[in-house]
Structure 1
């Protein structure tokens, strides 16, 4: 018998008459909604061992997927394996939903489903991953050139809580690269401007604006409760302070820096992987002298460069939250904007590092005065 092609209404009638309705999409797709009464069996598993789920070769089996192609292909495979009463739903689940037929949906609201639909369709992420992002808390130090693109994409991706720390105000010279801010907000605290922008982008995100400078006395309070720390700062005292606190508190640190036309990104995770993953001090044991490392206001920076580096930082933060992919742990990614070239350098943990070496006691935080005396 040839495979029948049914409209969603005809498929529903068959279901009510006793047919088996099988949704052959992946779990991540079915999380967005499936025909009410359907049984979910992913196509690969069904084709590999159909007898496990469908022992009766004469049973009426109606297959449905997203738009109708996979169900048709799966039906052809089952036909070759001896199944004799097969049908495929034309237009798939999309047509079923458009027709207003009964649907079963995961416990998520319509805004969540539509806003993150492209994430929900990724097998590596899906509903479970999106809910994990929703529960995550990310600390973003700096609402400037690096923090702007990182914050935009983290909020858009659905990170549930962003704690943004910066004690500066918006200046006209910032607007060439700090895209969180606008001309109308010149003079406003950057964290307030950032909160306005990000809340308008994604009202589901909780934005905690902390208008403070990070110092030894408050660094642990600011890091309290966060899952990942993004370094979007522009000065060495904060970089070393963040690194040391992340090692002590076992937080992964996503590092980024820009200079003129060059940028670099890495993930320092020595707190959770002592002796294996390096920390920032393993790469730069001591701060350079001020003359060797001028900031953006002194040396200048190509406006789009922080956008590239900040987006890479956001990517690494999302991977760390989800536990997917291969983070830049033990690797320094360097970007040359003029040559449009990336270069990767392997980094090893320093067994003599004063902060992250195994079994070494935490040496304490260095305050700004002590830091400046060393630099």
Structure 2
């Protein structure tokens, strides 16, 4: 038996005569607006138990979706389940709107459903995962080359709160790679410039600025409430300090570093997984000599390279919050931009690590500047 296909105008007429109109789109699709008076039941839910929605198999049921394809498939499912008076609305909600037929107003939370609609379509994310992102807090050290792309994509992804720590101001030489900043904001504090850019992209994200140099006296205040910490620092004293604080407080640390044409990314999660996951000190028990690791101002850096590494850091942070995929914990990912190659190095936890060894008490913060200069 062929399913009857009707116009939106005919559907409206039958609805007013007592027919049941059901919108079979997903909730986030219906949130932007739907046919007035339509009952919202996702196609999968309707097909799983149609009698829970329409107990009377003789009822007149009209199905509508976005374009008419899903509603037609759902109508066939109802027909197979014994429903005899089923029709599908051709052109769906798109045509309903184009013809100026009555609409229910968008949901109060329509920005959420509209903005993150592509996330909501992913079974690994869905509404529950997006709500987790919305309630998450990420602390980032550095609003420069690595922090710029990471912060942009975390804000776009809907991470609820971003804490940005940087005590520097925007310089023209930053603009080659630090995409949070603009020519017009040269001389402005980087965290304030970042706040302006991120709020313009996604005004629903809370951006807390931390215009201070990170020290042992304030690092815990920065990361205490964070779910994930991102290391976008450009010097070894801050890297070691951040690592030690994350081990002490049990925070996952997403590490990234760049040098000329090469970059590295990893996740150090020793604070939550003592003896199983490494920390930064397991990789670098001691800092390299200054001549072996010059900074970007001394050695230069390909402008797009921090973009690649920062996006990988943002990806790892999102995975950690959602609890999906395989994080880079225990693995160091190397990127060679000139060769366009990735390679991976396994990183075991160091059983003798002075900070993260299983059963070892936190030794306390040290003079990191002196440690790195020794």
**TM score, norm. by length of structure 2:** 0.89
Q: Deviations over 1:328-357 (max 9, x none)?
A: 222222211112122223333223322222
1:199 alignment partner in structure 2: 199
Q: Is 1:71 aligned to residue 71 of structure 2? A: yes
1:108 alignment partner in structure 2: 109
Q: Is 1:43 aligned to residue 43 of structure 2? A: yes
Q: 2: distance between equivalents of 1:289 and 1:217?
A: 26
1:337 alignment partner in structure 2: 337
Contact 1:29 1:120 in 2 (8 A): no
1:249 is displaced (CA, Å) by 1.1
1:373 is displaced (CA, Å) by 4.7
Contact 1:26 1:123 in 2 (8 A): no
1:279 alignment partner in structure 2: 279
Contact 1:263 1:309 in 2 (8 A): yes
Q: 1: distance between equivalents of 2:38 and 2:178?
A: 49
Contact 1:164 1:207 in 2 (8 A): yes
Q: 2: distance between equivalents of 1:324 and 1:90?
A: 38
Q: Is 1:291 aligned to residue 329 of structure 2? A: no
1:129 is displaced (CA, Å) by 3.5
1:292 is displaced (CA, Å) by 1.7
Contact 1:138 1:162 in 2 (8 A): yes
Q: Is 1:316 aligned to residue 316 of structure 2? A: yes
Q: 1: distance between equivalents of 2:372 and 2:81?
A: 76
2:325 alignment partner in structure 1: 325
Residue-pair matches, total: 373
Q: Deviations over 1:192-216 (max 9, x none)?
A: 2222222233333322222211111
Q: 2: distance between equivalents of 1:351 and 1:37?
A: 65
Contact 1:175 1:181 in 2 (8 A): yes
1:77 is displaced (CA, Å) by 3.6
Q: How does 1:1-375 map to 2 (within 5 A)?
A: 1-48=1-48, 50=50, 53-54=53-54, 56-98=56-98, 99-103=100-104, 105-109=106-110, 111-374=111-374
Distance 1:106 1:200, change over 3 A: closer
Q: Which runs of 5+ in 1 are unaligned?
A: none
1:41 is displaced (CA, Å) by 4.1
1:108 is displaced (CA, Å) by 0.8
Contact 1:68 1:90 in 2 (8 A): yes
Contact 1:3 1:75 in 2 (8 A): yes
Distance 1:122 1:103, change over 3 A: farther
1:92 is displaced (CA, Å) by 2.3
The alignment's C-alpha RMSD in Å is 2.6
Distance 1:338 1:159, change over 3 A: same
Distance 1:164 1:34, change over 3 A: same
Distance 1:15 1:297, change over 3 A: same
